[in-house]
Amino acid sequence: IFNDQDGKMNRSLQEIGGEILVVSQFTLYGDARKGNRPSYITAARPETAIPLYESFVAKCSDLLGKPVPTGIFGADMKVSLVNDGPVTIWLEKPPKD
Protein backbone atom coordinates (compact mmCIF):
# COMPACT_ATOMS: atom_id res chain seq x y z
CA ILE A 1 0.00 0.00 0.00
CA PHE A 2 3.01 2.26 -0.50
CA ASN A 3 4.06 4.08 -3.65
CA ASP A 4 6.48 2.54 -6.11
CA GLN A 5 8.80 4.53 -8.39
CA ASP A 6 5.80 5.42 -10.60
CA GLY A 7 3.70 6.72 -7.73
CA LYS A 8 1.39 3.68 -7.75
CA MET A 9 0.49 1.95 -4.48
CA ASN A 10 2.19 -1.35 -5.35
CA ARG A 11 4.70 -1.82 -2.53
CA SER A 12 4.27 -3.49 0.83
CA LEU A 13 5.55 -2.44 4.22
CA GLN A 14 8.15 -5.21 3.96
CA GLU A 15 9.32 -4.00 0.55
CA ILE A 16 9.95 -0.46 1.74
CA GLY A 17 11.55 -1.56 5.03
CA GLY A 18 8.87 0.33 6.92
CA GLU A 19 7.78 0.14 10.51
CA ILE A 20 4.47 -0.05 12.33
CA LEU A 21 3.28 0.90 15.79
CA VAL A 22 0.66 -1.42 17.29
CA VAL A 23 -1.65 0.15 19.88
CA SER A 24 -4.72 -1.62 21.26
CA GLN A 25 -7.95 0.33 21.07
CA PHE A 26 -10.95 -1.54 22.39
CA THR A 27 -13.08 1.58 22.07
CA LEU A 28 -13.29 0.88 18.32
CA TYR A 29 -16.02 -1.60 19.29
CA GLY A 30 -18.07 1.01 21.11
CA ASP A 31 -21.72 0.94 20.11
CA ALA A 32 -23.26 4.41 20.34
CA ARG A 33 -26.61 3.63 18.74
CA LYS A 34 -28.51 3.88 22.06
CA GLY A 35 -28.27 6.09 25.11
CA ASN A 36 -25.85 8.85 25.99
CA ARG A 37 -22.60 6.89 26.03
CA PRO A 38 -21.10 4.03 24.05
CA SER A 39 -21.45 0.42 25.15
CA TYR A 40 -18.41 -1.86 25.00
CA ILE A 41 -20.27 -5.13 25.53
CA THR A 42 -19.06 -6.48 22.17
CA ALA A 43 -15.38 -5.76 22.95
CA ALA A 44 -13.37 -8.87 23.80
CA ARG A 45 -12.65 -9.54 27.48
CA PRO A 46 -8.98 -9.03 28.49
CA GLU A 47 -8.39 -12.78 28.86
CA THR A 48 -9.29 -13.14 25.18
CA ALA A 49 -8.04 -9.82 23.84
CA ILE A 50 -4.53 -9.79 25.36
CA PRO A 51 -3.41 -13.10 23.77
CA LEU A 52 -4.87 -11.97 20.42
CA TYR A 53 -3.03 -8.65 20.68
CA GLU A 54 0.25 -10.34 21.64
CA SER A 55 -0.14 -12.89 18.83
CA PHE A 56 -0.74 -10.08 16.32
CA VAL A 57 2.34 -8.19 17.52
CA ALA A 58 4.47 -11.37 17.31
CA LYS A 59 3.23 -12.12 13.78
CA CYS A 60 3.99 -8.55 12.66
CA SER A 61 7.47 -8.81 14.16
CA ASP A 62 8.08 -12.14 12.41
CA LEU A 63 6.93 -10.77 9.04
CA LEU A 64 9.00 -7.59 9.32
CA GLY A 65 12.04 -9.34 10.77
CA LYS A 66 12.41 -6.81 13.57
CA PRO A 67 10.73 -5.86 16.85
CA VAL A 68 7.45 -3.99 16.58
CA PRO A 69 6.91 -1.12 19.02
CA THR A 70 3.65 -1.27 20.94
CA GLY A 71 1.53 0.69 23.33
CA ILE A 72 0.63 -0.71 26.73
CA PHE A 73 -2.46 -2.90 26.51
CA GLY A 74 -5.40 -1.33 28.34
CA ALA A 75 -3.50 1.78 29.41
CA ASP A 76 -4.55 5.39 28.97
CA MET A 77 -2.13 6.71 26.37
CA LYS A 78 -1.73 9.78 24.23
CA VAL A 79 -1.01 8.67 20.67
CA SER A 80 -0.42 11.12 17.84
CA LEU A 81 -0.82 10.34 14.17
CA VAL A 82 0.23 12.23 11.07
CA ASN A 83 -1.35 10.92 7.89
CA ASP A 84 1.08 11.36 5.00
CA GLY A 85 -0.75 11.45 1.71
CA PRO A 86 -4.22 11.51 0.27
CA VAL A 87 -5.20 8.01 1.43
CA THR A 88 -6.07 6.51 4.82
CA ILE A 89 -6.77 2.77 4.78
CA TRP A 90 -8.62 0.99 7.58
CA LEU A 91 -7.94 -2.74 7.59
CA GLU A 92 -10.54 -4.90 9.29
CA LYS A 93 -11.43 -8.55 8.96
CA PRO A 94 -14.94 -9.73 9.82
CA PRO A 95 -15.12 -12.23 12.69
CA LYS A 96 -15.44 -15.91 11.87
CA ASP A 97 -18.87 -17.41 12.50
Where along the chain do its domains lie? 23-97
Higher local confidence (pLDDT), 6 or 86: 6
This prediction has a pTM of: 0.73
Q: Measured between alpha carbons, how far is 8 from 68 in angstroms, rounded to an integer?
A: 26
Catalytic residue among 26, 56, 70, 73: 26
Q: Is 5 considered catalytic here?
A: no
> By three-state DSSP, how is residue 13 classified?
helix
For residue range 35-66, list pLDDT tens digits in order: 888 888 888 888 988 898 999 999 999 999 99
Higher local confidence (pLDDT), 27 or 51: 51
Say what the pLDDT of residue 11 is.
93
Catalytic residue among 2, 5, 14, 27: 27
Region 23-97: CATH code: 3.50.80.10
Q: Measured between alpha carbons, how far is 59 from 68 in angstroms, rounded to an integer?
A: 10
Catalytic residue among 2, 14, 25, 42: 25
Q: Is 25 considered catalytic here?
A: yes
> By three-state DSSP, how is residue 49 classified?
helix
C-alpha 86, offset from chain centre? 19
User: What sign does the dihedral 59-62-64-70 (CA atoms) show?
Assistant: positive
Q: Is 14 considered catalytic here?
A: no
Whole-number percent of the chain with pLDDT over 90 = 28
